[in-house]
């Protein structure tokens, strides 16, 4: 099986030989810098067998390496065995990143410019120095990749924001044009898929779990052009009527590939046209195509303003999110009740069955549009892999002892959820209970934070870690990521990580709060809620912010060591569980309601 990858890499090396390239860099992304590319662009997987959600591959004549972060170290080592591809660790002390690694190993580096952002390509170019070069070879592997997938297509849904929250697309376009005026630009090209669909209040299903449509948006002061594959204009039957509103709002629908032409079309323009692009998501191929057409001072590059605007949820979005978390919590509680009952009955429930059952509970909720990512349903040692992928065949049976971890979320017309619960299935060891309690204390300490306006996530990250740190324990990933609104489950610009991030946390931002611990070969524990940043008043010392926990699903107290949790966190936990019960109970079937009441100690 692994020989496939060895052969493919050998074919790439032949291509390198023919063309005089010293190295090929293969990104794990698509032409829009998406975090989760559709199968067509899963080039790293095709070349190496690695299926992690983050990873870039470098092939030279005598080395092949995969760069990925700690979430995927164990998985990479397993999947890369026998392929000849070596693991290079990122986000660790003294990590050597691809540009630096290449700097003294290559002069001519080929990339699929479609799948490399301008920023990434320019970092490589800078590292290669003046006598080096980055060669742009779009769809580089198509000649070798017989059964390569086509571009994904899916029907378009247009959102009625009166029902589903947020601003009207006309308001968003007016806001962007105002920003463009201030910036002094005539055109703005949006390349990131979540920015495009957010602007237009549309959603699709081009990428699994991510309600996106592969497309570009070009906004000028008098036009809005949406470059989308023709097939996408097949409308979702449920919402056909509203699509006409999109056109009525002045959006011109054009073919995906005509974006190249449109960017270079200056007809009717009197003077030099200034174009705004975001080099962190614009692909290198388009950039190479247009950079000759725009003089240097006419190509304005920077961070897209849509990223921040989208992250700060509106009042109506926040109201919907609160309701959505009630619905999602009901599904979670029904699932947890079902799981406990089934396992207690002695029936052999597998991780896969549990995962399917959870998806089914979510699917029953009106407005549900599937899951927001692949469920992580992991029992025992499997949960020690932070991003365990539950296999359909041969997944583990969940026994009535130890810990079961389930990390899942739903897409709804009214928001996106992301929750992790770790369930004591029966008796736990002292170490399991200690770890369970310390991770929980970290989650609670962060939940209780109050902070002045201007505070960034890196100032708060250690609160989720200190209870573990004081016991000489830790986890290797970030504490929190931004979450979209019926959009990607990971979004920027804010984060709660140890790495400095200059973006302050702002009222309206939704972030995950998910400390964890992983004991290789034994178990994994993660507690995750979504937290909303909100205003907490003013004092003579300034303006204050705090978190509101959006997620509503009880936290099992049977594995909690109260002395270790401490009185303040213990009180928070009890109040949270009471709030969960009181909020959800009207919506729960009688047996689940009675069970939850007991779980919440009421």
- Point out which residues bind a second copy (CB under 8 A): 93, 448-452, 454-455, 458-463, 466, 469-470, 472-474, 498, 500, 536-539, 541-542, 544, 566-568
Complex with a second copy: residue 268 or 502, whichever CB lies closer: 502
Cα separation, 11 vs 19, in Å, equals 12
Complex with a second copy: residue 10 or 95, whichever CB lies closer: 95
- Least distance in Å: CB of 473 to a second copy? 5
Complex with a second copy: residue 314 or 459, whichever CB lies closer: 459
Phi first, then psi, for residue 271 (nearest 5°) are -135, -175
Within 10 angstroms of residue 567's Cβ, the number of other Cβ atoms is: 9
- Least distance in Å: CB of 522 to a second copy? 11
Complex with a second copy: residue 61 or 470, whichever CB lies closer: 470
Give buried/exposed letters for 24-62 (b at 16+ CB in 10 A, else e). Answer: bbbbbbbbbbbbbbbebbbbbbbbbbbebbbbbbbbbee
- Which residues fall within 8 angstroms of residue 467, CB to CB, at 6 or more apart? 438, 439, 441, 442, 445
CA 554 to chain centre: 25
Complex with a second copy: residue 346 or 502, whichever CB lies closer: 502
Q: Are 377 and 354 in contact (CB under 8 A)?
A: yes
- Least distance in Å: CB of 130 to a second copy? 14
- Least distance in Å: CB of 542 to a second copy? 7
Please state the length of the chain: 602
Cα separation, 110 vs 88, in Å, equals 20
SS3 content of the chain, % helix, strand, coil (to 5): 40, 25, 35
Complex with a second copy: residue 100 or 568, whichever CB lies closer: 568
Complex with a second copy: residue 364 or 543, whichever CB lies closer: 543
- Least distance in Å: CB of 500 to a second copy? 4
Taking each helix axis as running N to C, give the angle between helix 169-183 and helix 193-200, from 0 to 180 degrees, rounded to the nearest 10. 120
- Which residues fall within 8 angstroms of residue 174, CB to CB, at 6 or more apart? none
What would the two tokens of residue 507 be? Answer: 């009222």
- Least distance in Å: CB of 454 to a second copy? 5
Residue for token pair 């390239």: 21
Complex with a second copy: residue 287 or 518, whichever CB lies closer: 518
- Least distance in Å: CB of 558 to a second copy? 25
- Least distance in Å: CB of 76 to a second copy? 20
- Least distance in Å: CB of 521 to a second copy? 11
Within 10 angstroms of residue 234's Cβ, the number of other Cβ atoms is: 13
- Which residues fall within 8 angstroms of residue 526, CB to CB, at 6 or more apart? 383, 386, 405, 407, 420, 422, 439, 514, 515, 516, 517
Complex with a second copy: residue 20 or 562, whichever CB lies closer: 562
What would the two tokens of residue 139 be? Answer: 């769809």
Find, among 154, 163, 223, the residue nearest to 193 by Cα.
154
Q: Are 80 and 86 in contact (CB under 8 A)?
A: yes
CA distances from 153 to 149, 206, 225, 413, 524 (A): 11, 5, 19, 20, 37
Complex with a second copy: residue 268 or 563, whichever CB lies closer: 563
Complex with a second copy: residue 165 or 305, whichever CB lies closer: 305
Cα separation, 165 vs 578, in Å, equals 28
Pairing of strands 202-203, 157-158: antiparallel
- Least distance in Å: CB of 579 to a second copy? 20
- Least distance in Å: CB of 546 to a second copy? 9
């Amino acid at each position: 099986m692994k020989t496939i990858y060895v052969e493919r890499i050998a074919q790439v090396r032949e291509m390198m030989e023919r063309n005089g390239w010293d190295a090929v860099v293969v990104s794990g992304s698509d032409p829009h810098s998406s975090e989760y590319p559709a199968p067509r662009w899963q080039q790293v997987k095709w070349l190496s067998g690695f299926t992690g959600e983050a990873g870039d591959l470098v092939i030279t004549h005598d080395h092949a390496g995969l760069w990925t972060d700690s979430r995927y170290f164990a998985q990479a080592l397993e999947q890369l065995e026998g392929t000849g591809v070596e693991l290079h660790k990122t986000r660790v002390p003294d990590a050597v990143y691809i540009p630096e690694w290449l700097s003294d190993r290559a002069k001519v580096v080929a990339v699929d410019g479609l799948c490399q952002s301008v920023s990434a390509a320019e970092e490589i170019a800078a590292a290669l120095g003046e006598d080096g070069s980055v060669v742009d070879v779009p769809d580089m592997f198509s000649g070798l990749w017989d059964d390569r997938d086509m571009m994904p297509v899916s029907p378009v849904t247009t959102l009625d924001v009166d029902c589903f929250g947020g601003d009207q697309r006309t308001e968003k376009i007016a806001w962007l044009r105002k920003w463009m005026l201030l910036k002094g630009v005539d055109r703005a090209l949006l390349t990131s898929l979540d920015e495009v669909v957010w602007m237009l209040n549309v959603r699709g299903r081009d990428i699994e779990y991510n309600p996106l449509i592969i497309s570009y948006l070009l906004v000028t002061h008098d036009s809005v052009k949406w470059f989308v594959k023709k097939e996408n204009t097949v409308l979702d039957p449920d919402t056909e009527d509203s699509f006409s509103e999109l056109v009525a709002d002045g959006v011109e629908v054009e073919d995906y590939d005509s974006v190249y032409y449109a960017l270079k079309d200056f007809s009717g323009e009197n003077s030099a046209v200034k174009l705004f692009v975001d080099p962190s998501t614009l692909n290198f191929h388009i950039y190479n195509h247009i950079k000759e057409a725009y003089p240097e001072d006419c190509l304005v590059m920077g961070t897209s303003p849509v990223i921040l605007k989208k992250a700060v949820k509106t009042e109506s979005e926040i109201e919907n999110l609160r309701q959505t978390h009630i619905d999602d919590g009901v599904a979670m509680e029904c699932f947890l009740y079902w799981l406990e009952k089934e396992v207690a009955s002695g029936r052999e429930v597998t991780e896969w069955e549990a995962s399917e059952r959870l998806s089914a509970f979510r699917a029953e909720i009106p407005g549900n549009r599937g899951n927001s990512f692949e469920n992580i349903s992991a029992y025992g040692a499997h949960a020690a892999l932070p991003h365990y992928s539950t296999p359909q065949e041969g997944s583990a049976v969940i026994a009535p002892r130890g810990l079961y971890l389930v990390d899942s979320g739903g897409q709804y017309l009214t928001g996106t959820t992301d929750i992790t619960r770790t369930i004591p299935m029966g008796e736990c060891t002292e170490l399991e209970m200690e770890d369970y309690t310390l991770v929980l204390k970290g989650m609670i300490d962060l939940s209780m934070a109050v902070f002045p306006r201007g505070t960034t996530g890196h100032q708060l990250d250690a609160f989720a870690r200190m209870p573990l740190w004081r016991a000489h324990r830790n986890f290797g990933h970030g504490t929190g990521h931004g979450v979209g609104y019926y959009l990607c489950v990971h979004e920027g610009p804010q984060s709660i990580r140890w790495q400095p991030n200059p973006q302050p946390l702002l009222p309206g931002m939704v972030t995950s709060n998910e400390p964890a611990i992983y004991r290789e070969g034994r178990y994994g524990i993660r507690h995750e809620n979504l937290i909303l940043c909100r205003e907490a008043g003013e004092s003579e010392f300034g303006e204050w912010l705090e978190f509101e926990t959006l997620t509503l699903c009880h936290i099992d107290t049977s594995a909690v060591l109260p002395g270790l949790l401490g009185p303040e966190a213990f009180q928070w936990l009890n109040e949270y569980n009471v709030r969960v019960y009181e909020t959800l109970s009207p919506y729960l079937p009688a047996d689940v309601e009675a069970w939850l009441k007991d779980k919440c100690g009421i």
